[in-house]
Amino acid sequence: MSPDPLAPLDLAFWNIETAEHPMHLGALGVFEAGSATAGAHAADLLAARAPAVPGLRMRIRDTWQPPLALRRPFAFGGATREPDPRFDPLDHVRLHAPATDFHARAGRLMQRPLERGRPPWEAHVLPGADGTAFAVLFKFHHALADGLRALTLAAGVLDPMDLPAPRPRPERPPRGRVPDVRALPDRLRDALSDAGRALDIGAAAALSTLDVRSSPALTAESSGTRRIAGVAVDLDDVHHVRKTTGGTVNDVLVAVVAGALRRWLDERGDGSEGVAPRALIPVSKRRPRTAHPQGNRLSGYLMRLPVGDPDPLSRLGTVRAAMDRNKEAGPGRGAGAVALLADHVPALGHRIGGPLVSGAARLWFDLLVTSVPLPSLGLRLGGHPLTEVYPLAPLARGHSLAVAVSTYRGQVHFGLVADGKAVPDLDRLALAVTAEVETLLAACRP
């Protein structure tokens, strides 16, 4: 495989990382096990299968002058993905001692940065102390893979699945090296449109910082420590609320987060009155396969969570209305689309400015709430079925909490990632998520 330049947003993730604020995402999968040796067997399988997955062999290398074939405007000072000639899967797959609490062990592992000189991913196998289950924590740097790409890489080392054959894509005519002069007016118009969109996004982001009441629990100074918790709720319960109130499953899940935060803040004595933290809800705008460079391209919706509203159905209605407004405007404009501005920054700008802007996220939003798609088919490792999977989002500098949600096999899994010192009571927030689902169900009963 030839070197591939990092897309602008990937380059941003690579350069804003620090030892205290690693930019990797993760997933904690729990598998059934029939014996105490199942975890060790799983680790052997992961190490044996990893070399056959090309994406897992790719390292990220900083470059000041990319190869001639990859040169493009503003590429000076960028980075490339390229095969690591020294790749050894045993550097990335690690078997640990038996654990009684998978989430507690995974939290300590999530706070450790990935080694930047090697392909930036790890798989940690955690055997269960009672031998009935084992867990695997996957970590992928955000510059290597977003949530969907990370799922694809992880699936490459799990047991093969019988999937339907993909539909053939219509062939596109090859593009010439010299641009068609007839397309130049359209390209100029697109460039002007992009510039106008960038100004709109910047103005909306500036306005979003005004008149905000959040909670110190969400924006405490970062310590670099990590704590994680997982919550599983019945998907049928979520569908019941959705069918009763309207909207989408995602609307219900975001409202659950808002209600759980209210309950948690009140229980810990911080108070929820008037609190309306800004939640960033990422929206993938993946580049087509023919685009160059490949890589992440994210936008997002920014909304105020109605934490201060005491009525659960009113909270849900507020979330639904805000999401409808965001969808009507589209993910390409508004304060939530700030990540798209990465496309307008030269590579050298990311290299120099990354450390300076790493703390700017706290000025833009207070809490990340993201959804990670998972296949409905059952996944296995060494024949052992995957029963739970908790997505884990990166925690930006200046943020104390991030929430990731996935739906798998009839359950909704909430993965909560928090700063370990700022949020020592993360388990209480996990209980509040379950309680909020029950509250919404009760409010929907006649």
Residue 308's identity, in one-letter code, is: G
pLDDT at 211: 53
pLDDT at 341: 37
Among 305, 313, 213, which residue's Cα sits nearest to residue 261?
305
Tell whether the model's pLDDT for residue 192 goes beyond 60.
no
Enter the DSSP assignment of 71.
-
pLDDT tens for 277-306 read 998 888 754 544 444 444 544 557 888 999
pLDDT at 182: 46
Dist. CA 431–CA 253, nearest whole Å:
15
Dist. CA 88–CA 137, nearest whole Å:
19
CA distances from 65 to 74, 89, 245, 421, 438 (A): 11, 29, 56, 42, 57
Tell whether the model's pLDDT for residue 177 goes beyond 50.
no
Query: Binning pLDDT at 50, 70 and 90, where does residue 436 land?
Result: very high
3-state secondary structure of 126: strand
Is the torsion defined by CA of 378, 384, 388, 390 positive or negative?
A: negative
Is the torsion defined by CA of 108, 116, 340, 396 positive or negative?
A: positive
Query: Binning pLDDT at 50, 70 and 90, where does residue 445 land?
Result: confident
Percent of the chain with pLDDT over 70: 73
pLDDT at 111: 93
pLDDT at 362: 62
> DSSP readout, 182-202?
GGHHHHHHHHHHHHHHHHHHH
CA distances from 287 to 9, 15, 264, 290 (A): 12, 21, 39, 8
**H helices within 101-183, ranges in order?**
102-110, 147-155
Side-chain-side CA neighbours of residue 114 (13 Å): 28
pLDDT (average), residues 348-363: 49
pLDDT tens for 202-244 read 434 444 444 555 677 887 777 889 999 999 999 999 999 999 9
Tell whether the model's pLDDT for residue 425 goes beyond 60.
yes
pLDDT tens for 15-46 read 788 888 888 999 999 999 989 999 999 999 99
Answer whether 26's CB lies under 8 Å from 392's CB.
Answer: yes
Tell whether the model's pLDDT for residue 250 goes beyond 90.
yes
Among 443, 436, 442, 438, which residue's Cα sits nearest to residue 306?
436
Q: Return the residue matching tokens 């909560």.
A: 416
E strand or H helix at 284: strand 278-284
Chain mean position to CA 43: 25
Tell whether the model's pLDDT for residue 1 goes beyond 70.
no
Mean pLDDT score of the chain, rounded to an integer? 80
Pick from 142-146, 173-177, 368-372: least confident: 173-177
pLDDT at 287: 46
pLDDT at 148: 78
Answer whether 231's CB lies under 8 Å from 405's CB.
Answer: no
Answer whether 426's CB lies under 8 Å from 418's CB.
Answer: yes
pLDDT at 344: 39
Tell whether the model's pLDDT for residue 3 goes beyond 50.
yes
